Amino acid sequence: MAEIRQNPATKEWVIIATGRVKRPEDFVRDEPEEALPHHDGNCPFCPGNEGKTPPEIFSNKGKDGKWTLRVIPNKFPALEPNGQIDREEASNFFRRMDGLGRHEVIIESPFHDASLGLFSLKETLEIVDAYKRRYCDLITDNRFKLVTIFRNNGKGAGTSLEHPHSQIVALPVVPVHVRNRLESAMRYYDDHGHCVFCRMIGMELKSKKRLVLKNDDFIAFEPFASRVPFETWIVPLRHQATFGEISKKEMKGLARILKSLFEKFYRGLNNPAYNLIVRTAPTGDEGEEYYHWHIQVIPRMTTSAGFELGTGVYINVSLPESSAEFLRKV
């Protein structure tokens, strides 16, 4: 029979369609990867084209003086830094506010054909460091209530530029999608007196069936109620509510986990399209006991359709336990 599982942290239900289950090997991308040039003269993120982007916020440079990573404002931002935070109600019903926020891009490498799955540990740590630096700077603006870091890899994940990059968006509101996750974790804390994510870490370490990677600071696993094949969560072992609380030592541990995981994705699954999202509590919730920041990686190997859109319940045709075993062996 099919199995319906619930994620204890989000309360989301997932159908594990055992009658349709595929082997992990069936999700390996079989089409050849399009070869990208080392440098693209038309790419605004490639060296020599810096004038095609807004002035950089900061950059890292090597001993040769050439940049290895750049952070810039998005040229076509979803939100603008100027505006009013006040909310208005039109006709006493519809609510609106200015599109206030910040939208930035982290250009992760000078090489157009680089891939997170093949980055060195030093290069990966450079990205984690940029995440932390920009996050901590953006939260100093008390107009912003949530800072979201994300990475789109591949056209199937919504990327418009192939050059490796991540994005950061600072919002003046906490979206209901995020609020629901926070409230679910808060209810668990109220009922049990401890963090649901800490409990989940303990269960995954005890079971080991869905464990993919572990070091002194982080754990990576396939959630019990994975919504899609090879969905992976990366969670710090030390309880911390917001991403900004990560220590320098933990940044190195996160870089090691990211490097290992995405090398497995690259070599074992032929570099699939995916979305990476840093799930963090809102600004001002530092030190809270109810929430535990984490990274969610969502491969784009299947397509959501009417049932998922209509119910919010995903149908997964891959057993999380099998996906974890496959990744461990890569």
Higher pLDDT, 304 or 177: 177
What is the rounded CA–CA span in Å between residue 307 and residue 304?
8
What is the rounded CA–CA span in Å between residue 170 and residue 150?
12
Enumerate residues 6+ apart whose C-beta is below 8 A from 301: 27, 228, 229, 230, 272
What is the rounded CA–CA span in Å between residue 228 and residue 299?
7
Mean pLDDT of the chain: 93
In the predicted model, is pLDDT for residue 29 greater than 80?
Answer: no
Q: Could you give the angle at the alpha carbon of 196 between the alpha carbons of 191 and 199, nearest 5°?
A: 115
pLDDT band, very low/low/confident/very high, at 155 (cuts 50, 70, 90): confident
Q: Is 38 a catalytic residue?
A: no
28-32, 63-67, 93-97, 315-319: range with lowest mean pLDDT: 28-32
146 contacts 171 by C-beta, under 8 angstroms: yes
> Would you state the pLDDT for residue 296?
97
3-state secondary structure 170-225: EECCCCHHHHHHHHHHHHHHHHHCCCHHHHHHHHHHHHCCCEEEECCCEEEECCCC
In the predicted model, is pLDDT for residue 278 greater than 80?
Answer: yes
Task: Specify the number of domains making up the chain.
Answer: 1
pLDDT band, very low/low/confident/very high, at 157 (cuts 50, 70, 90): confident
pLDDT band, very low/low/confident/very high, at 32 (cuts 50, 70, 90): low
18-22, 78-82, 112-116, 320-324: range with lowest mean pLDDT: 18-22
3-state SS assignment for residue 313: coil
pTM for this prediction: 0.94
pLDDT band, very low/low/confident/very high, at 33 (cuts 50, 70, 90): low
**Host H or E run for residue 106:** strand 102-107
Mean pLDDT of 189-197: 97
322 contacts 211 by C-beta, under 8 angstroms: no
Annotated catalytic residue within 103, 163, 165, 239: 165
The enclosing domain of 134 has a CATH number of 3.30.428.10
In the predicted model, is pLDDT for residue 268 greater than 90?
Answer: yes
In the predicted model, is pLDDT for residue 177 greater than 70?
Answer: yes
Q: Six-digit token pair at 64?
A: 């040769």
In the predicted model, is pLDDT for residue 92 greater than 80?
Answer: no
> Would you state the pLDDT for residue 96?
86
Range of the domain at 18: 3-329
Mean pLDDT of 264-287: 94
Mean pLDDT of 115-134: 96
